[in-house]
């Protein structure tokens, strides 16, 4: 476990049974940031080993989904796209959605996948799900370049609202991490989660305005619909990039509140279950 | 800062077995449990395991209190399942104690396994960085020691080859090389020297000795009594989760080996619990016979001898292709040889329900002394019985192995080999 600390006062470790809810060790995570870096680095190094197309896979998946959606939902089903060309309407939403779905999935499997580390070395366990959310960012960045190319093609100039993109990305990260913390901790105990996750992600996909605009949802369902934080994030992405509609609206504020709640409870639950990981995983 | 760097007080760890034995549970079980638990409670079902938690719980460690001073090298010994690894896992903060506490002063490095976190797709170079970071080294620290690590592992040529193309020996060498260059103030080491070839093991022991010599504090778990006696000034003996003795290493090691002997001698083989295997065939007795077929308490070097293993099959079992093997251990825990009936193509296709396996060894090549015998039976290649502490002892008296009256080199060289000498001109 090496660096418990770099400072003298932290180098005394007191080991005792913890009871009930415990506080997050944010400071400990900071001390172990070097390991966090190497875990992300490992994920990236390993991800496309022994593939022919390599890093292109980061683009292929959202790109072809966009093509399929454009044909089926845009052309055949004629789903309205707020006056924006359907391909870019779909891609602007697929970008945060793909990042979220991949991160959530990686997060969920992260603890079980790293069980050989958990049972042999000490480090703040929070590092593992955090690293899987961070390593997804590289794919996100690469597929973003396609979006820029598409914006050039369709001659869409981003507005000032595009400055909100980093914040929206952080929101997507926080959502994936919050939900991922819950699921990964549960997955250690109950391997059912592994099978439920693909279903959950599919369900979540249709509950998020990726292939359709959110104003298609009837007014009376809007409030329940907005409880899904990905609604605010995906709509936010679309509006920030394509410059249609207001980003900051009550729905968006609600998303932020829900994300904070999800993340805080996720961390608390994770910390509560953490002590049993090495014995159960 | 005081001079005591590790202090534990009544450290205890409770493990659940039985219901939880499968490791993880499925959601269904929990839901079923949650719904049925209140009803069970109403019915007051006395056999129900949930109401009798004592049945499912086991104290892997109980009331462990000890202190380690700065710079001490402490060996932790004890039989399998005594809680040695659990103790190191708690001190490494991998798992929490159920009761009690421990206080540790200083940077702790723990080495519970060689090559933790190695990724087979990554190259040797990449794995050095990854493994180093996992063990708690900073990037700058790894940069500085990189060449030293590579040289220690003797893999210069393959440093940019993926580890999956390495031989298992190379992998172990690389892994140990990284671990050996950890520089924590306190080092916790679990049975990691049991891997690798003999030459490399020796190199690792040397490195461990160096670490100990630099005044760092080391806690060292091993079954290798020679290594413990070599490296450790103090030893702690753990038995079924309790500290039964602590003190200077030679005394503790001697007492431990004697306690094994007492167990092996005083408990009839058929009633011993320290065994693994399917139980299709089990050892029931062990004795040795001299060259006249008489049961004896001591054999003589150089005389023909027979090792006789009584067995019985489980009821209704008619095991096929049975192999029996045994090997003698010296007092300091070194294994001298292993002989399975399969090595000489003498497996037993079918055996009577009970009886004796007899292994005759011509001109017994062991020097005088006392040897612990461990033995194992397999049926169709699958382990049937393996008493962990061994099945007994043989006493060997001096004998005329060479046929010349010479007793040979002496007691600290346990193995005798015959040969013929000649001299030729150039």
Residue B275 to residue A93: CA distance in whole angstroms: 61
Q: How distant is the Cα of A62 from the closest Cα of chain B, in angstroms?
A: 26
Q: Please indicate whether, in this complex, the C-beta atoms of B108 and A18 are within 8 angstroms of each other.
A: no
pLDDT at B54: 45
CA dihedral A134, A135, A137, A138 (to 10 degrees): 150
Of chain B, the percentage scoring pLDDT greater than 70 comes to 86
Whether residue A205 lies inside any domain: the answer is yes
Mean per-residue pLDDT of chain B: 83
Q: Which of A120-129, B99-108, B166-175 has the lowest mean pLDDT?
A: B166-175
| Per-residue H/E/C for chain A | CECCCCCHHHHEEEECCCCCCCCCCHHHHHHCHHHHHHHHHHHHHHHCCCCCCHHHHHHHHHHHHHHHHHHHHHHHCCCCCCCCCHHHHHHHHHHHHHHHHHHHHHHHHHHHHCHHHHCCCCCCCCHHHHHHHHHHHHHHHHHHHHHHHHHHHCCCCCCHHHHHHHHHHHHHHHHHHHHHHHHHHHHHHECHHHHHHHHHHHHHHHCCCCCCCHHHCCHHHHHHHHCCHHHHHHHHHHHHHHCCCCCCCHHHHHHHHHHHHHHHHHHHHHHHHHCCHHHHC
Q: If you measure CA to CA, which chain B residue comes closest to A188?
A: B24
Structurally, how many domains does chain A consist of? Answer: 1
- The answer to whether A153 touches A163, Cβ cutoff 8 Å, is no
Residue A215 to residue A195: CA distance in whole angstroms: 32
Q: In which band, very low, low, confident or very high, does the pLDDT at A157 lie, cut at 50, 70 and 90?
A: confident
The per-residue pLDDT for range A180-239, each reduced to its tens digit, is 999 999 999 888 888 899 999 999 999 999 999 888 888 888 888 889 999 999 988 988
Q: If you measure CA to CA, which chain B residue comes closest to A118?
A: B94
Backbone dihedral angles phi then psi of residue B73, each to the nearest 5 degrees: -115, 110
> Could you name the CATH architecture of B63-260?
3-Layer(aba) Sandwich (3.40)
Query: Pick from B90, B107, B134: which is nearest to A35 by CB?
Result: B134
Whether residue A2 lies inside any domain: the answer is no
> Could you give the angle at the alpha carbon of A13 between the alpha carbons of A8 and A17, nearest 5°?
160
Q: If you measure CA to CA, which chain B residue comes closest to A280?
A: B23
- The answer to whether B309 touches B385, Cβ cutoff 8 Å, is no
pLDDT at A15: 87
Q: If you measure CA to CA, which chain A residue comes closest to B20?
A: A280
Q: Please indicate whether, in this complex, the C-beta atoms of A278 and B95 are within 8 angstroms of each other.
A: yes
Q: Please indicate whether, in this complex, the C-beta atoms of A121 and B110 are within 8 angstroms of each other.
A: yes
Measured from the Cβ of residue B145, the count of other Cβ atoms closer than 10 Å reads 20
Whether residue A137 lies inside any domain: the answer is yes
pLDDT at B182: 83
A176 pLDDT exceeds 50? yes
- The answer to whether B234 touches B248, Cβ cutoff 8 Å, is yes
Residue ranges per structural domain of chain B: 13-59, 63-260, 270-397
Q: In which band, very low, low, confident or very high, does the pLDDT at B30 lie, cut at 50, 70 and 90?
A: low
Residue B310 to residue B375: CA distance in whole angstroms: 11
| Cα A235 to Cα A133, A178, B343, B398, distances in angstroms | 21, 20, 72, 90
pLDDT at B404: 84
Task: Return left, alpha or beta for A84; rule: phi > 0 is left, psi -120 to 50 is alpha, else beta.
Answer: beta
The per-residue pLDDT for range B265-307, each reduced to its tens digit, is 667 888 888 888 998 999 999 999 988 888 887 888 888 999 9
Whether residue A4 lies inside any domain: the answer is no
Share in percent of chain B as helix, strand, coil (round to 5) = 30, 35, 40
Is A154 an interface residue toward B (CB < 8 Å)? no
Mean per-residue pLDDT of chain A: 87
Residue A82 to residue A236: CA distance in whole angstroms: 14
- The answer to whether A90 touches A211, Cβ cutoff 8 Å, is yes
DSSP B72-92: -EEEEE-STTSSHHHHHHHHT
Is B101 an interface residue toward A (CB < 8 Å)? yes
Helix locations, B192-332, DSSP H:
198-213, 225-231, 249-266
pLDDT at B110: 83
- The answer to whether A24 touches A267, Cβ cutoff 8 Å, is yes
pLDDT at A153: 92
Between chain A and chain B, the number of residue pairs with CB atoms below 8 A apart is 129
Is B65 an interface residue toward A (CB < 8 Å)? no
Q: Please indicate whether, in this complex, the C-beta atoms of A34 and B133 are within 8 angstroms of each other.
A: yes
B370 pLDDT exceeds 50? yes
Contacts of A85 (CB under 8 A, 6+ apart): A154
B323 pLDDT exceeds 90? yes
Q: Please indicate whether, in this complex, the C-beta atoms of A16 and B95 are within 8 angstroms of each other.
A: no
Residues of chain B contacting A189 with CB distance shorter than 8 Å? 24-25
Query: What domain range is A202 assigned to?
Result: 23-280
A4 pLDDT exceeds 50? no
Is B31 an interface residue toward A (CB < 8 Å)? no
Of chain B, the percentage scoring pLDDT greater than 90 comes to 37
The per-residue pLDDT for range B104-148, each reduced to its tens digit, is 998 888 888 877 888 988 999 999 999 999 888 888 999 999 999
The per-residue pLDDT for range B116-127, each reduced to its tens digit, is 888 988 999 999
Whether residue A17 lies inside any domain: the answer is no
Taking each helix axis from N to C end, the angle separating B124-134 and B139-153, rounded to the nearest 10 degrees, works out to 130
Residue B191 to residue A195: CA distance in whole angstroms: 37
- The answer to whether A162 touches A240, Cβ cutoff 8 Å, is yes
Residue B217 to residue A81: CA distance in whole angstroms: 68
Fold of B270-397: Coagulation Factor XIII; Chain A, domain 1 (2.70.50)
B213 three-state secondary structure: helix
Which of A:58-117 have CB within 8 Å of B? 116-117
Residue A261 to residue B368: CA distance in whole angstroms: 74
Which of B:106-135 have CB within 8 Å of A? 106-110, 112-113, 116-117, 119, 121-122, 126, 129-130, 133-135
Whether residue A18 lies inside any domain: the answer is no
The per-residue pLDDT for range B178-214, each reduced to its tens digit, is 888 888 888 888 876 666 566 777 777 777 778 777 8
Residue A270 to residue B212: CA distance in whole angstroms: 38
Q: Please indicate whether, in this complex, the C-beta atoms of A120 and B23 are within 8 angstroms of each other.
A: no
pTM above 0.90, yes or no: no
Is B12 an interface residue toward A (CB < 8 Å)? no
Nearest-Å Rg of the Cα atoms of chain B is 26
Q: Please indicate whether, in this complex, the C-beta atoms of B182 and A35 are within 8 angstroms of each other.
A: no
Is A33 an interface residue toward B (CB < 8 Å)? no
């Amino acid at each position: 476990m090496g660096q418990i600390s770099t400072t003298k006062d932290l180098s005394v470790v007191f080991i005792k049974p913890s009871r009930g809810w415990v506080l997050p060790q944010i400071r400990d995570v900071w001390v172990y940031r070097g390991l966090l870096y190497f875990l992300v680095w490992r994920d990236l190094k390993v991800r496309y080993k022994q593939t022919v197309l390599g890093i292109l896979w980061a683009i292929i998946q959202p790109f072809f989904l966009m093509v399929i959606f454009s044909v089926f939902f845009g052309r055949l089903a004629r789903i309205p796209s707020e006056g924006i060309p359907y391909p870019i309407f779909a891609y602007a939403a697929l970008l945060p959605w793909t990042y979220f779905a991949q991160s959530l999935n990686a997060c969920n499997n992260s603890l079980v996948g790293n069980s050989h580390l958990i049972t042999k070395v000490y480090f703040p366990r929070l590092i593992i799900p955090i690293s899987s959310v961070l390593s997804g960012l590289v794919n996100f960045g690469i597929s973003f370049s396609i979006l820029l190319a598409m914006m050039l093609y369709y001659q869409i100039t981003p507005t000032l609202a595009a400055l909100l993109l980093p914040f929206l990305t952080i929101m997507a990260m926080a959502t994936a991490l919050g939900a991922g913390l819950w699921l990964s901790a549960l997955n250690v105990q109950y391997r059912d989660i592994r099978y439920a996750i693909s279903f959950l992600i599919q369900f979540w996909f249709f509950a998020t305005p990726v292939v359709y605009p959110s104003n298609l949802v009837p007014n009376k369902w809007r409030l329940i619909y907005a409880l899904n934080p990905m609604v605010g994030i995906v709509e936010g992405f679309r509006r920030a990039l394509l410059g249609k509609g207001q980003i900051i609206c009550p729905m968006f504020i609600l998303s932020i509140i829900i994300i904070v709640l999800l993340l805080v409870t996720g961390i608390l639950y994770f910390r509560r279950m953490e002590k049993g990981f090495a014995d159960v995983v | 800062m005081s001079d005591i760097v590790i202090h534990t007080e009544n450290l205890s760890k409770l493990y659940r077995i039985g219901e939880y034995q499968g490791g993880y549970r499925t959601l269904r079980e929990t839901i079923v449990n949650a719904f049925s638990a209140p009803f069970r409670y109403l019915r007051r079902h006395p056999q129900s395991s949930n109401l009798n938690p004592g049945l499912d719980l086991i104290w892997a460690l109980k009331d462990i209190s000890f202190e380690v001073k700065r710079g001490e090298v402490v060996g932790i010994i004890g039989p399998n399942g005594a809680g040695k690894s659990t103790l190191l896992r708690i001190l490494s903060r991998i798992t929490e104690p159920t009761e009690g506490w421990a206080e540790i002063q200083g940077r702790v490095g723990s080495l519970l396994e060689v090559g933790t976190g190695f990724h087979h797709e990554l190259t040797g170079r990449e794995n050095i960085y990854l493994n180093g970071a996992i063990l708690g080294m900073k990037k700058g620290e790894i940069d500085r020691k990189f060449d030293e690590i590579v040289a220690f592992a003797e893999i210069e040529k393959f440093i940019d080859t993926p580890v999956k193309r390495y031989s298992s020996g190379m992998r172990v060498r690389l892994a140990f090389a990284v671990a050996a260059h950890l520089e924590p103030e306190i080092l916790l080491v679990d049975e990691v020297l049991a891997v690798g070839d003999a030459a490399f093991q020796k190199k690792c022991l040397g490195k461990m000795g160096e670490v100990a010599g630099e005044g760092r504090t080391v806690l060292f778990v091993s079954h290798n009594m020679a290594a413990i006696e070599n490296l450790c000034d103090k030893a702690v003996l753990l038995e079924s989760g309790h500290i039964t003795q602590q003190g200077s290493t030679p005394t503790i090691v001697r007492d431990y080996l004697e306690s094994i002997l007492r167990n092996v001698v005083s408990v009839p083989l058929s009633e011993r619990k320290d065994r693994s295997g399917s139980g299709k065939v089990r050892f029931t007795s062990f004795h040795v016979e001299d060259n006249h077929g008489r049961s004896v308490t001591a054999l003589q070097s150089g005389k023909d001898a027979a090792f006789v293993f009584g067995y019985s099959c489980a009821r209704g079992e008619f095991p096929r292709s049975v192999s029996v093997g045994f090997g003698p251990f010296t007092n300091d825990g070194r294994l001298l040889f292993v002989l399975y009936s399969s090595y000489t193509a003498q497996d037993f296709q079918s055996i009577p329900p009970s009886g004796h396996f007899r292994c005759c060894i011509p001109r017994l090549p062991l020097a005088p002394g006392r040897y612990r015998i461990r033995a194992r039976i397999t049926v169709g290649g699958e382990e049937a019985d393996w008493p962990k502490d061994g099945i007994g002892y043989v006493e060997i008296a001096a004998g005329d192995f060479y046929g010349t009256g010479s007793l040979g080199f002496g007691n600290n060289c346990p193995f005798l080999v015959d040969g013929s000498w000649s001299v030729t001109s150039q």
